[in-house]
Amino acid sequence: NGKGKCEDTWMDEHIIVDSGTAHLNGDIVDNNLNNLKWWIDKHNIYSSREAIDFLIKEKNKFSSKKKTIKNKFLKNKFFYMFPVGLRSFLYFLYRYLFRLGFLNGWQGFLFDFFQAFWFRVLIDAKIVELKKIMKTKDLTLEQAVKSEYGYDI
């Protein structure tokens, strides 16, 4: 308690600790019994937040803090280098084929499709949409986010 803090980001926050961490042996089971509608609604909100986070970082030229997390670095510097649409498809192929998602049967296909393809396409669509709103209505990022999503950034 009091040895770490949450990153200041809109999505995919991580806890930054001041000292070392320990490994606990055991499993953490997320026995989520919610339906697909709940999952899609949740990820629709997450995609808005991730699109906002991307545009904020793009506006700040992906400025990095002292403690950059490798996965976020790869996502911001590598993943977003690919064209819209292609990056989601490549990520799906990576997860489903190279990370062996197909071994989980149809459930593995659905999970990788929704998580790696649909969710990422939705984020890209919201990034494009916000950029279009900013351009056509001559709004700042802050104004566009407030008008479309009701968030203050």
**How confident is the model at residue 67, as a pLDDT?**
45
**How confident is the model at residue 100, as a pLDDT?**
95
Number of C-alpha atoms within 13 angstroms, CB side, residue 19? Answer: 4
Please write the tens of the pLDDT for every residue from 22-63: 888 999 898 889 999 999 999 999 999 999 998 998 888 755
Q: Is the pTM higher than 0.85? A: no
